[in-house]
Chain A
Amino acid sequence: MEVTHPLELFPGCSVTVLLFTGVKNAAALRKKAMEGSIEGALINPAMIVDPFQILVAANKAVHLHKIGKMKTRTLYAEIIFSLSPNNNISDAFKKFGISDSDTAVLIVLVADREKPVNLEDIASQVEGQQVSLEELSQLTDTAKVKKMYKVTPQEEKIGTLLDSIVCRMSTKDVL
């Protein structure tokens, strides 16, 4: 169902990704996320092509969190920001965060030794069906993703869309 992967560079930390469809309370969830009462990042699945994309964003967010150099205020906000190809925080939330009318929601949780992950707690707050992450590809809006990340046609010949996205995410702050 959900996918959990350890973060090799941060022993003890792991990332769990859950996907929900038929979500009815997106607006309420978004409000809770803004207040910080949800221990997770709420992401719009249309902008995600593969769980690896989430892992890369989470890895970067945890790294910045550990060295105290996050650009946003919370780890979960940082994950959403890391997904964005540019440095505009509010734009990142708008494009990669969920909106009130969304019916599908992707939730990312980060657990470490002190704070184990509580799946039931999160799942109970969502008024929707948890589905396997294999369904993610059906929810992806490839055209929107290509536009957001400004993928060039030459680039598509030398690698997958995921490759282009990950490259931009990881080199965003060096440019």
Chain B
Amino acid sequence: MAAAEAGACGLSSGMAVAGGPAMDGPGPGPEPEPEASAAGPAMPEPEAGSAGPVVAEAPPPALPGLRLVQQGAEARVYRGLFLGRAAVAKLRIPKRYRHPALEERLSRRRTAQEARSLLRCRRAGIPAPVVYFVDHVTNSIYLEDIVDSVTVQDHINSVQQSGNDTSSLLTLAEKMGELLARMHDEDLIHGDLTTSNILLRPPMEKLDLVLIDFGLSFISGLPEDKGVDLYVLEKAFLSAHPDTEAMFKTLLKTYAATSKKSGPVIKRLDEVRLRGRKRSMIG
């Protein structure tokens, strides 16, 4: 420990805190900061500003068969059995660089949005996981686990790698377009449309799709928001899956055919495409 500190202090003290959130203010030599305490409860932080409510970090839930599936930017996703059913537990990771009051409010809002959107999807007949339990204290949500499902991303990759039957991908694109059209017709904006947020329920040939991860979703009827939603998907699609322009085109075609309000949305999508990064802003 001493050696590391000496080494760190020797160079640039600012750099030594690499990786951790810069909590210590302008002070002499960073103290060895407790590593991103994954499971520990939050300690009262000696912040320079006012000490607002400290957002508790939820320890992993004691579900039988618990495994950490993924750690995203927003939350840790666990799989386990909840009340006898295969479930997914999403525990939000508190962002310590945010002011605690904001963090609390944002966490709560995101969890609530997610729960609300999932219910809205269900009511409209759009496949989404069932919500089993929402914990407003830790802002965690317990949902149905779609067992043996595959993300569309993995599916496309495996089909492309195996090199056969890419026409099934076009049918998949049609299904996706139809699903998104129905979602947008409910004025529901997903907010984070990527191919890893759409699941395929087994058996894969049935192309039974399920939408997940509604943490950034909101309700809006504006073509602008729907257009941006599609644009996010387009960007994610084309960057994750090379040579899939035809797929996305089919998706949009089916979207336009299925959705009753698609005209303005597609028009808006074209406009949004002209904005983007590294695009000229001539109007």
Contact = CB atoms under 8 A, between A and B. Distances in A.
A157 B134 CA distance: 24
B143 to A, nearest CB: 9
Contacts of B63: 8-9
Contacts of B144: 163
A152 interface: yes
A171 B142 CA distance: 11
Contacts of B126: 158
Given A5-B83, A155-B122, A11 B62 contact: yes
Interface string B74-93: 00000011111100000000
Contacts of B81: 8
Which of B81, B111, B118, B134 has the most chain A CB atoms inside 10 A of its CB?
B134
Given A164-B122, A170-B115, A67 B84 contact: no
Contacts of A9: 61-63, 82, 133
Contact of B132 (A5, A11, A152, A166): A166
Interface string B187-227: 00000000000000000000000000000000000000000
A159 B122 CA distance: 9
B125 interface: yes
Contacts of A67: 137
Nearest to A63: B135
B119 A168 contact: yes
Contacts of A59: 83, 133
Contacts of A171: 115-116, 118-119, 131, 134
A174 B115 contact: yes
Contacts of A8: 61-64, 80-83
| A-side interface size class | 20 to 34
B159 interface: no
Interface in A52-72: 52, 55-56, 59-60, 63, 67
A150 to B, nearest CB: 9
B83 A163 contact: no
Nearest to B66: A8
Interface in B92-145: 111-112, 115-116, 118-119, 122-127, 130-137, 144
A152 B62 contact: no
A27 interface: no
A29 B6 CA distance: 74
A8 B62 CA distance: 6
Contacts of A56: 83, 132-133
A170 B85 CA distance: 15
Contacts of B80: 8
Nearest to A51: B84
Residue in A11, A55, A158 whose Cβ sees the most chain B Cβ within 10 Å: A158
Given A155-B122, A159-B122, A166-B131, A55 B83 contact: yes
A157 B125 contact: yes
B61 A167 contact: no
Contacts of B137: 67
Q: Shortest 7 CB-CB distances between A and B: which pairs?
A: A154-B125, A55-B83, A174-B115, A171-B119, A163-B130, A171-B115, A170-B131
24 contacts: A8-B64, A8-B80, A9-B62, A9-B63, A9-B133, A55-B83, A56-B83, A56-B133, A152-B123, A154-B123, A155-B125, A157-B125, A159-B130, A163-B144, A166-B132, A167-B131, A170-B134, A171-B115, A171-B119, A171-B131, A174-B111, A174-B115, A174-B134, A175-B119
